[in-house]
Structure 1
Amino acid sequence: MSQFSTEEMQALTQAVVRHMDEWNISGEEMLLILGLDSEVRPRHLAMYRNGDKAFPQTPEMLNRIEHIVGIADALRTTFPFSSQMRVLWLRKPHRRFQRRTPLAVMLEEGADGLMKIRIEVDCAYGYAINDALHAASQAGKAAA
């Protein structure tokens, strides 16, 4: 996993918070999606938003960041002219999530929920995951 410089991590942090701000979610919801520890409070998000503090460079955080950026990019591709439609998609119950909203899936299931939402909205990522699973299955059969 690549290491980012302090400046790169601050810029990445700001971009991720900006994406979630565009989704009109609360500070508490941001903290849950990001998986930040319980010592971080919603009022601390201003430090991340302003670039005064960066998210930790842990594998878990970098995984979550990757999914959040992937979801944001896919929503921008799907709804290029309407930020309101992006927000609506996140808040509308979806049949593939047992009538839960994509936002609820992210909040309730953490990193796994982020991946589920990204697979749903980003078909290229979904195909890549499917291909990787298929290749792993074939390798397992060949080894047996």
Structure 2
Amino acid sequence: MSDPRLDHSHALVALLGSWQLGADEVRALLQLPVGIRPRQLGHVPLPDHPETSRRVDYLLRIEAALRTSFPRSPEMRRQWVRRACRQFALRSPLQVMLEDGEPGLIAVLSHLDCTFAWDLTGSRSDYQRGDDGKGG
């Protein structure tokens, strides 16, 4: 039986490699705990740390959304991450994620995945209560 944290680590290494990130960028994106080096990823399970786990989840969901947008072009996915975007005040999504931390990851994922944004705003719970908002 495989370790889900190690599976996530392998997927993350592939993703970060496809984005051609340097060690400092990887460390910043994941907020790796002291003692974990970016080059260790993929060889050891990801740290069992809530912030790291959330960030990994956001990154893997960002990649899944990019695969939907650019299913045949890994190069376009990499370019999208690095290209300036009006949505982010002409910063690249990568800059947003690096400079803004977890809120930046959430912003990029929300931009790519409308269902994530919908869940984040509470619209889903409003919808489940009923059209009149009274819960019935």
Normalising by the smaller structure, the TM-score range is 0.7 to 0.9
Q: Distance in 2 between matches of 1:85 and 1:92?
A: 10
Q: Percent identity?
A: 28
* 1:45 aligns to 2:41 (yes or no): no
Given residue 7 of structure 1, which amino acid in structure 2 is its aligned partner? Answer: D
How far residue 130 of structure 1 moved from its aligned partner, in angstroms, is 2.3
RMSD value, Cα: 2.3
Which of the pair is proportionally richer in helix? Answer: 1
Partner of 1:23: 19
Larger RCO, structures 1/2 (Cα 8 Å, 6+ apart): 1
Q: Distance in 2 between matches of 1:129 and 1:6?
A: 31
Partner of 1:72: 63
Q: Distance in 1 between matches of 2:11 and 2:102?
A: 18
TM-score by length of 1: 0.79
Given residue 45 of structure 2, which amino acid in structure 1 is its aligned partner? Answer: A
| 1:101 equivalent among 86, 92, 95 | 92
| 1:14 equivalent among 10, 28, 37 | 10
* 1:35 aligns to 2:31 (yes or no): yes
| Structure 1 gap segments, 5+ residues each | 136-141
Given residue 23 of structure 1, which amino acid in structure 2 is its aligned partner? Answer: W
TM-score by length of 2: 0.83
Partner of 1:63: 54
Q: Distance in 2 between matches of 1:46 and 1:69?
A: 18
Partner of 1:90: 81
How far residue 132 of structure 1 moved from its aligned partner, in angstroms, is 4.7
Contact 2:23 2:39 survives alignment (8 Å): no
Provide Cα deviations, 1:27-75, integer angstroms capped at 9, x if missing partner. Answer: 21011000113544xxx333222x2x22211221111111011100000
Moved over 6 A (4+): none
Partner of 2:72: 81
Given residue 68 of structure 2, which amino acid in structure 1 is its aligned partner? Answer: T
| 2:113 equivalent among 122, 125, 134 | 122
Q: Distance in 2 between matches of 1:62 and 1:106?
A: 15
Equivalent residue pairs, number: 129
Partner of 1:138: none
Q: Distance in 2 between matches of 1:25 and 1:122?
A: 22
